[in-house]
């Protein structure tokens, strides 16, 4: 057990700090401080020693250099059980610093605010992060408090133990400190590399949340990241591992649709079982639900539109795990909260990572996200029949869904509505047959519908099967050495076909 006799306090965020300062003062602790924190403590009527008295230097270069001095870092780092260290501290009049309370400039918040480059650079903390690392390294002698989120716990320990700490306390705070510095440095690195702090390359530096279990109950799981930064939860239980995976799929799909085009999507096991766009939220939801009301049971629903009472009354009839929307009317929210376990999320605006990672074998695969979505202007007509404007809109719509469906996949759609999809099949022909069977089972007439494929057709069998089912326009990447066989079939049977040149495998 070590009793705190001296403390260095220099923080950006001062909320919650006052009770700790008062307790330290009541126990006769010598307090050292700088700048705004020094003024804050002095305004409380508590004596404080300016750091300048230790260093012999004022704060210089616009505050860039305040604590970077051997008198400060020596007081943190010298080993109290090392006779040489103790002798040197005495020789150079370096006081011991038993406690360091310091946080970091709000770098991530500054980036998120849209600030300019110079403002962002000025929020790269130098002294603070150095103090944190020093205090954490010498946890045997020094308590490092590196975040305002630790203030309550710090106060509790100090009150309970008479302004003293044990080795377990100090090592725990040191562990958290290195997590904080790792996260902070990662955010800075990502900004320099990507122009954003959004990345998960060093995911262990991100905030951690233990989940009830993983994909199955016998698997443990942790989420690395800040869900609260992305969603405001209004109702329901905590998100599970599978919930988070489905929510991720929902977000990826709905982001394909412009906010001015009211869209609903229903996801089950990361694949869309219903998607529709319409002039009203109610119509969009009901059209999405009609695609596959059986699979929709227990699914995740997302929309890019406000949830009003009219659509809420329809949504409330469905057993769903999660509903995600940008906003809710109060009467709609009151109705939807009637089921206590139903998770209701408000999505916040936030930059998302541009990279994807997957653990495989004895390593990790990394790739850019598939951010290519082809529109009509990027579709090259290769058949004699040219698709109509309505068919081009339908092909664009189908391709957006196709991109977010497990390969091999075929998507059947009309302008603004998914009719059916074949998902995750080992054969593209099987995927098409599955889609046709599903569409027929839910009463959809495929006459005049369109088809999207995530990859090229190596043989003309798919366009032949689609033609027999009533499909009249097809979009695919092209690129097979036998493309001409599919083109010839389309020309002989008056089908329109366009190529995009972009494949959308999803495994």
How many helices (H) and strands (E) the chain has is answered by 20, 23
User: 237 an active-site residue?
Assistant: no
Structure tokens at 311: 């659509």
Distance CA 378, CA 372 (A): 11
Distance CA 125, CA 6 (A): 24
Question: Is the distance from CB of 133 to CB of 90 less than 8 angstroms?
Answer: no
- Residue position matching structure tokens 């489905």: 246
Structure tokens at 105: 């400039």
Distance CA 187, CA 199 (A): 8
| Given the residues 137, 161, 209, 354, the one annotated as active site | 137
Question: Is the distance from CB of 256 to CB of 372 less than 8 angstroms?
Answer: no
DSSP 121-178: HHTS-SHHHHHHHHHHHTTTT-EEE--GGGHHHHHHHHHHTTSEE-HHHHHHHHHHHH
| Displacement of CA 66 from its chain's centroid (Å) | 35
Distance CA 127, CA 107 (A): 14
| Given the residues 153, 209, 269, 354, the one annotated as active site | 269
User: 354 an active-site residue?
Assistant: no
DSSP 352-374: --SEEEEEETTEEEEEE------
Residues catalogued as catalytic = 137, 269
């Amino acid at each position: 057990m070590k009793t705190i006799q001296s403390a260095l306090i220099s923080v950006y965020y001062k909320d919650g700090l006052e009770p700790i300062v008062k307790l330290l003062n009541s126990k006769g602790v010598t307090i050292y401080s700088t700048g705004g924190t020094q003024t804050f403590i002095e305004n409380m009527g508590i004596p404080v020693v300016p750091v300048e008295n230790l260093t012999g230097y004022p704060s210089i270069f616009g505050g860039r250099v305040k604590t970077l001095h051997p008198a400060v870092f020596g007081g943190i780092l010298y080993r109290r059980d090392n006779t040489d260290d103790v002798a040197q501290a005495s020789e150079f009049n370096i006081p011991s610093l038993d406690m360091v309370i310091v946080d970091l400039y709000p770098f991530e918040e500054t980036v998120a605010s849209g600030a300019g480059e110079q403002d962002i650079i000025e929020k790269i903390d130098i002294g603070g992060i150095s103090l944190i690392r020093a205090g954490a390294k010498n946890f045997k002698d020094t308590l490092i408090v590196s975040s305002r989120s630790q203030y309550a716990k710090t106060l509790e320990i100090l009150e309970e133990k008479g302004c003293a700490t044990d080795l377990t306390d100090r090592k725990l705070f040191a562990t958290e400190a290195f997590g904080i510095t790792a996260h902070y440095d990662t955010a800075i690195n990502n900004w320099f590399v990507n122009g954003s702090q959004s990345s998960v390359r060093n995911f262990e530096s991100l905030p951690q949340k233990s989940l009830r279990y993983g994909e199955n109950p016998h698997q443990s799981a942790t989420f690395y990241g800040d869900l609260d930064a992305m969603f405001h939860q209004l109702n329901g239980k905590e998100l599970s591992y599978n919930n988070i995976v489905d929510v991720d799929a929902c977000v990826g799909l709905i982001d394909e649709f412009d906010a001015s085009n009211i869209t609903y999507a229903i996801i089950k096991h990361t694949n869309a079982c219903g998607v529709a766009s319409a002039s009203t939220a109610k119509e969009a939801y009901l059209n999405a639900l009609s695609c596959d009301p059986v699979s929709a049971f227990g699914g995740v629903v997302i929309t890019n539109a406000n949830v009003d009472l009219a659509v809420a009354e329809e949504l409330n009839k469905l057993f769903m795990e999660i509903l995600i929307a940008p906003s809710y009317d109060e009467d709609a929210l009151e109705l939807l909260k009637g089921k206590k376990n139903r998770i209701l999320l408000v999505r916040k605006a936030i930059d998302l990572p541009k990279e994807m990672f997957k653990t495989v074998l004895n390593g990790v695969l990394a790739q850019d996200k598939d951010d290519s979505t082809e529109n009509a202007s990027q579709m090259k007509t290769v058949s004699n029949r040219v698709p109509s404007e309505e068919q081009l809109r339908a092909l664009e719509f189908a391709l957006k869904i196709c991109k977010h469906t497990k390969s091999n996949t075929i998507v059947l759609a009309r302008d603004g509505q998914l009719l059916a999809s074949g998902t995750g099949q080992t054969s593209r022909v099987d995927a098409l047959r599955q889609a046709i069977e599903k569409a027929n089972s839910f009463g959809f007439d495929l006459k005049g519908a369109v088809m999207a494929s995530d990859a090229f057709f190596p043989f003309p069998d798919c366009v032949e099967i689609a033609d027999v089912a009533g499909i009249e326009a097809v979009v695919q990447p092209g690129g097979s050495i036998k493309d001409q066989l599919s083109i010839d079939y389309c020309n002989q049977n008056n089908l329109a076909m366009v190529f995009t040149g972009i494949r959308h495998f999803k495994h």
